[in-house]
Amino acid sequence: MDYEGIIIRPPSEAGSLILQVTVGCSHNKCTFCPAYKDKQFAIKPLEQIIDSIHQAASQYKNDVRRIFLCDGDPLIMPQQSLMCILEHLEKCFPRLQRVGIYGNAKSVLKKSVNDLRELRTKKLGIVYMGLESGDIETLQNVKKGVGPQHMIDAAHKVKQAGMKLNVTVILGLAGRHRSAVHARETAKVLNGMAPNHAAALTLMPVHGTPLYESYQQGTFIMPDKFELVQELRTLVAGLELDNCLFFSNHASNYFPLRARLHRDKEHVMRQLDQILVSRDEKCLRSESMRGL
């Protein structure tokens, strides 16, 4: 297998074979994101990708059930190339059940629903999208490159194609002054996207990013740990999702959650309210245990 640079994949793809089909991120302008800064975006040559597939199949042919395509935005690839890759994966791994992929809203919107359905027939079964925030001002501040309605429209395309949708949001991304707005608007957009899975991470300013410089200069102020719990509570309170698996168990978060919405919503709200009333730091993950 041929990998260039650091490889990033969702936590839920930990057991998957990772196949790199693009290098870096086609957008790569988000002020908070340290990933792919050492890479210039490129689509790998199809021959090189197919060679990697054959190499992997020679060792793991009957062991692979899930495959994840990276780097940051493989859905930007031409339809014919993606279909060729998926056809080779299906042929080379007879026990393959599902292929996953990162997709930003722009790339999803460039595909038709029929394009996505065609990919679905070749076992592309889940798309991971980073919403980050539903607040348009926050999205503009972090240079996400798309707005809330783009996210909703892209989500609808994925769902219409019969694929599962996993959406990530970032607590703290709006800073202290827009924390409540960020949480409320993010809940609204998640409701519009109706993902199968939603995951909340917590912002950790990383050296070398523009947001880190603002953080160091004091122009961006992070919410404190209990303000972040309040942000999480506001987010959950606004969610009106049926049968969505919601996570906040990433290592960056102060309080880990795993809940099936709407079923577990009241229980989650009680947990968060108890923490906010008690302000007991023992209920929260310690700083030494947090990480990206």
The pLDDT of residue 29 is 93
At residue 5 the predicted structure's pLDDT band, cuts being 50, 70 and 90, is confident
At residue 292 the predicted structure's pLDDT band, cuts being 50, 70 and 90, is confident
Homologous superfamily of the 11-289 domain (CATH): tm_1862 like domain (3.80.30.20)
Instruction: Phi first, then psi: give them for residue 212, nearest 5 degrees.
Output: -60, -40
Residue 190: both structure tokens together: 């998640």
Is the pLDDT reported for residue 163 higher than 90?
A: yes
Residue 212: both structure tokens together: 């880190």
Percent of the chain topping pLDDT 70: 100
Is the pLDDT reported for residue 289 higher than 90?
A: no
Mean pLDDT of the chain: 95
Is the pLDDT reported for residue 176 higher than 80?
A: yes
Calculate mean pLDDT across residues 153-167. Answer: 98
Is the pLDDT reported for residue 250 higher than 90?
A: no
Calculate mean pLDDT across residues 130-158. Answer: 98
Q: Is residue 28 left, alpha or beta, with left meaning phi > 0 and alpha meaning psi from -120 to 50?
A: left
At residue 142 the predicted structure's pLDDT band, cuts being 50, 70 and 90, is very high
Cα gap 213→145, rounded to integer Å: 20
Angle between helices 79-92 and 113-121 in degrees, nearest 10: 20
Nearest Cα neighbor of 28 from 73, 74, 78, 77 is 73
Calculate mean pLDDT across residues 220-244. Answer: 97
Q: Which residue has the tokens 């009241």?
A: 266
Calculate mean pLDDT across residues 24-51. Answer: 92
Calculate mean pLDDT across residues 153-158. Answer: 98
At residue 291 the predicted structure's pLDDT band, cuts being 50, 70 and 90, is confident
The pLDDT of residue 6 is 83
Question: Which amino acid belongs to residue 33?
Answer: C
**Sign of the dihedral through C-alpha 46, 52, 57, 60:** negative
Residue 124 β-bridge partners: 99
Over residues 79-119, the pLDDT tens digits come to 999 999 999 999 999 999 999 999 999 999 999 999 999 99
The pLDDT of residue 118 is 98
The pLDDT of residue 285 is 93
At residue 288 the predicted structure's pLDDT band, cuts being 50, 70 and 90, is confident
Domain range summary for the chain, segments of one domain joined by +: 11-289
The pLDDT of residue 141 is 97
Over residues 72-81, the pLDDT tens digits come to 889 999 999 9
